Amino acid sequence: DASHVGMYVGNGQVIHAPYPGAPVRHDPVGMMPISSVTRV
């Protein structure tokens, strides 16, 4: 499902909210299937 957004913050970590209404948290980037990447 490509409706989830996370942001890479370095050291192999991303910040994201796992579902709508959930608090934002840090997780290892390897926990998430990545379908696309863009640089901002």
* Residue 11 · residue 3 · CB < 8 Å: no
Question: What's the predicted TM-score (pTM) here?
Answer: 0.67
Taking CA atoms, 2 is separated from 11, 13, 25, 35, 38, in Å, by 24, 19, 19, 7, 14
Summarize the confidence of residues 5-16 as an average pLDDT: 90
Provide the β-strand partners of residue 15: 7, 26
Q: What is the pLDDT of residue 1?
A: 55
Who wins on pLDDT, 2 or 19? 19
Looking at residue 29, its amino acid is: V
Nearest to 24 by CA among 3, 5, 11: 5
Q: What is the pLDDT of residue 23?
A: 93
pLDDT band (50, 70, 90) for residue 2: low
Q: Structural domain tally of the chain? A: 1
Domain residues for the domain of 25 are 1-40
